[in-house]
Every structure is written in structure tokens, then in C-alpha cells.
Amino acid sequence: MIRFYALGGLGEIGKNLYVLEKDGKILVLDCGLKFSDVPGVDFLLPDFSYLEKRSKDILGLFLSHGHEDHIGGVPFFLQKVKVPVFGSRLSLELVKANLGSRAAEYEFVEVKAGESQKLGPFKLDFVEMRHSIPEALGLYVETDEANIFFTGDYKIEVAPVSGKPTDFKALASIGERGVDFLLADSTNAEPAMMWNGGASAGDCLTEQQVYELLAKEISESSGRVIVSTFASHIDRIQQILKIAEKEERSVAIEGRSLIRNLKIAEKLGYLDGLGHRIVTSQTLESLPREKQMIIASGSQGEPLSALVRISSGIHKRVRLERGDKVIIAAYPIPGNERAVTDVINSLLYKGAEVRFIHSSGHPCTGKDHQLIMLNLIKPKYLVPIHGEWQHLVGHAEIGKRAGLPGENIFLLENGDVLVYEKEKGQPRVKKHGIENVGALIVDGILSKVEAAVAIKERMKIGSEGVVIVEAIFDEKQSAWLVDTVMLGVVTDSSQSSVSQTLNGLIARMLNENTASDQKEIEQSIASTVKDYLKSMNQYPEVVVRLNSI
């Protein structure tokens, strides 16, 4: 029996974590994080609790590439489940950097495109895939029950500016060997009805076109140029350094994640000998502005990132001047749009020129990349993964264009289990077969709580405010003393008068209440507050604290 399910990555962008099971043995595919727009939340992780319970059955974790939405959850996962981690050299180096000194505690297995590996009931073949980071791998999994191809993230680019293209010969060979299930990247696929025949978001530039646009913008700049991109977009950084060499500009790197990743990339030979263009910020400041370039983190508007601090005027070393050009070489990830817009507004207000130049590292629907993949692999069944619902549904439509019958295309949610038994024929779906598929939030250091509850509370406090009630029982006086504080609650009357009224209502209710259970008393207080404020069309979060003196 083969089982496939996702704990993240379906119906969303980020926290990709997919699972293959064969006769009770588990292979985990990727383990990423998801960025959040909720204040105070650093990022979201898949809920690992189901896999924790099955830890003895897990044979390994395969990483398709080194982007955070595929590897960002690995340090947290390994704390719970200690298993071998398989991936390309670059992917593993990036994970080890995230782990720091703890990396020595775990087993890492470096694999290369073209190699094979036997892992329990799974025979694994690794395939070169083109993406916006080097050493991205697809995975062909053979079992005695069914064969599966997992694309990871990919883009079809025949002649990329740098790096290797997708190995089409290997993909065609896999198609000839036979694929039952294709688990394929759905990013950029969108239902045809959404666009009425017009250009969709799936129409994207080639990397060569991006390089030419970047080169044009930088060569035409008479002042300093700041380029912001993902810290893990090694290919884009290579392009920028090539242009800096041509334009004889020196480059300073701003952002810890960028500095860390560039050290890894240079160690592995991915800077094409252009590391000499990188100088310290102090050295850059001594040069004419037309010779200056900065590569900065913060393309997603992350709080306290280099670009955000530059745009806010609080960066220690970089001060924007009118005429500086800022190029944002990344699309906003869903959830980050507001933060990116705020950064752009700040940059423009300070007199900077702002340009967006980017191309997706994922399939371009407008160029039929997903259709090409389907025609190469020739699967019996398609399982769209890695995308929001519009992408999954759009990918399903492409599957039908490729000739797959609708019953052979499976649109799954996180937690749905696709079950296949060869002798029984058609696969079946067990809806919500895995119960714990919510998200965990990482807040501050490594504190993790149930995301659904915490986020709901934060959003309510942010939109409706909060009322804090402290009730103290004075044992000498045998009476309750009440103090109510309202934050962010808007009423027609002054807050002090509303608080005084609430204090009186709560004290009277408590002094008449005969309940002894603390939880019951707290609920009674909360109900009293909510009922009173409901009459004013206010629905804040209510926090109650009971004490005695």
C-alpha cells in the first residue's frame, strides 16, 4: 500500500512538507516554513505531531532545494524526529548553517543529480531541476507498488544565464520507465476563467531577460544602486555581481542572512570568482556614489531587515539620498504585500527611484511549462502540490489539457490521505485522514504554540482591542475589589467612565456570586464585560485575573 499526504504546502504558499508511505515506512519530502503577516509572529511551521508519533517508521527526510519554504522547518523537525537528511551539498550546507553548532548531532547524506539510493522499500533517483537556487533536485521514487515523481520547485529554462538547466533527458527517461503519480509544482498555474484569455501571472521573463533589464537599469544609474533580493537566490546574486564587474562597481552586502549564504556560495564555487567585488561598508562609503552598489536583504519588507532600516532612515551605515536607485528583485510572497508596499512608499518619499525586476523560479503557465512536464513524465495520475487553491485548480485544468481524465487528478487538502493499492486499481482519498495539520508559530526565540488559537487572539486584539479585568478578593473585608483596563476599545463615553461602570457591575456580580470554581468565576466576569460592551457594538478580547489578599 502507498499513502501520500501533506502536512503543509497545499492551499498555501510555504511550509511545504509532503509524506510518502510504503507499507508503513515513511519518506518525508521537504520541511519548510511559511512567512506570516501577523504582528509578533516570526513564521509558521507545519505541525509535526503526527510524524513525532511515527518517528520509528521514518527512514529519512529528502530536501529538494535550499529555499526556506522547503528547509526552514528542518531544525525544529530534527529536534523532534532524529532522521537522516538527504539533499544536495548546497541544501545541506544551508541547513547546517541554520542549525549552527547543533549540526554535528545529526546525519546528513549528500546526493547528486544522476545518483541513486536505496532506502527501505524506496529506490530513489535524483534529477537536476532548474530553479532560482543551484543544486535543486527532483526525486523519482520506485516501489513494487507504484512509481512516483516529485518535481520539487522547477522552471523550464533551456539556456539559463548561470547554472544548469533542467535535465530533460532524465525526465524523458523517467517518463519511459513509467510514472504512476506526478507530484508537481503548481505555482503560477491559474484557472483559465480568471483571465478571460488575457495575460496571466503565469507569463514570466526568462533569466536572460531579467539579466538584461538589471544590466540596463544599473548601467543607466548615475548614483548608488541598492538591489534587494532573497538571501537564498544565489543565481540572482551571481547576475548582480557580474553586472557590478562590468560596470566597475564595488558591492557591500547588508543583511546577516545574505552574508551567511554568500559565504556558503563562495565556498562551493557559486560566485564565479567575483567575490573580489565585495567590500566592507566602510570601504564602499569612501568611493564615488556612481561606483557604489549594495545588495540588501529585506525584499519582503521583513521587520528590521536591511532594506526596511534603510527606507526608515535608521540604518547605521546607509543613508538614502535623492537619486539613489533601489531595485527590488523579488515578488512579494502572499502575506507580505502590505509590508513591501510600506517599504516602497518610504523609499519613494525619501527621493529614491524604485524598480521591480524579477522572474519566477517556478513554472511559467503562459509558456506551458507544466504542460511540458506532464508530456515528458506521462503520469497515470496527477497530484498538484505547492500552491494556493487557484494554483492547484489551474494545474488540474492543465492536467486535463494533457489528456488526463478528471478522475485521475487529485486535488487534496493538507491532511487528506491518497491511498493506492495496486491490486485494487483506482486510488482513493481519505478526507482529513491526518488530523493535526494546523500550523505552529515561531514567536521570538523557539517558543511554539498552536497557531490557529494564537493568531485568532492576536487578530481580534488588533481589530477590537482588549479589556483586562483584575479582581482581588479582600479576605479581611470579605469583598471583591475590581480594576478594569481597556486598550484599543472605542466607545461613545470616556474610557474611565466605562471602566468605572464595569468595575461596579463586576463587583456586584462577584459579591452576589456563590460559585467557588475559579474558572466559573472568570467566565462569569468575561460574560458580564462582553454583554455590557456588546450594547455599544464593541467585541474586544477579555482577559480576567483573580487574586486574593
The predicted model gives 88-108 an average pLDDT of: 96
Q: 56 burial class (0-12, 13-18, 19+ CB within 10 angstroms)? A: exposed
Give the pLDDT score at 207.
85
Q: Provide the percentage of residues in the chain whose pLDDT is more than 70.
A: 94
Residues 109-128 pLDDT 10s? 999 999 999 999 999 999 99
The predicted model gives 221-247 an average pLDDT of: 93
Q: What are phi and psi of 90, to 5 degrees?
A: -65, -45
Residues 157-184 pLDDT 10s? 887 877 788 999 999 999 999 999 999 9
Pick the CATH number of 2-195+362-453 from 3.40.50.970, 2.30.130.10, 3.60.15.10, 3.40.50.300: 3.60.15.10
- In terms of pLDDT, which residue wins out, 511 or 330? 330
pLDDT interval class at 535 (50, 70, 90): confident
Pick the CATH number of 465-548 from 1.10.3720.10, 1.10.10.10, 3.10.20.580, 3.40.50.10860: 3.10.20.580
Query: Assign residue 368 a region: left if phi > 0, alpha if psi is -120 to 50, beta otherwise?
Result: left
CATH architecture of the domain covering 207-356: 3-Layer(aba) Sandwich (3.40)
Question: Does residue 448 surpass a pLDDT of 70?
Answer: no
Q: Parse the chain into domains and list their residue ranges.
A: 2-195+362-453, 207-356, 465-548
- Locus of grid cell 525544529: 76
Q: Which residues neighbour 249 within 8 Å (Cβ) at sequence distance 6 or greater? A: 218, 225, 277, 290, 291, 292, 293
- In terms of pLDDT, which residue wins out, 156 or 548? 156
- Locus of grid cell 519566477: 360
CA gap 78, 299 in Å, rounded:
29
Question: Does residue 85 surpass a pLDDT of 80?
Answer: yes
The predicted model gives 232-238 an average pLDDT of: 89
CA gap 432, 416 in Å, rounded:
5
- Lowest mean pLDDT across 325-329, 396-400, 423-427: 423-427
Give the pLDDT score at 430.
96
Nearest alpha-carbon partner for 82 in 100, 109, 55, 43: 55
Q: What average pLDDT does the chain have?
A: 90
Give the pLDDT score at 199.
41
Kindly tell me the sign of the dihedral angle through the C-alpha atoms of 369, 375, 377, 380: positive
Instruction: List beta partners, residue 184.
Output: 384
CA gap 403, 401 in Å, rounded:
5
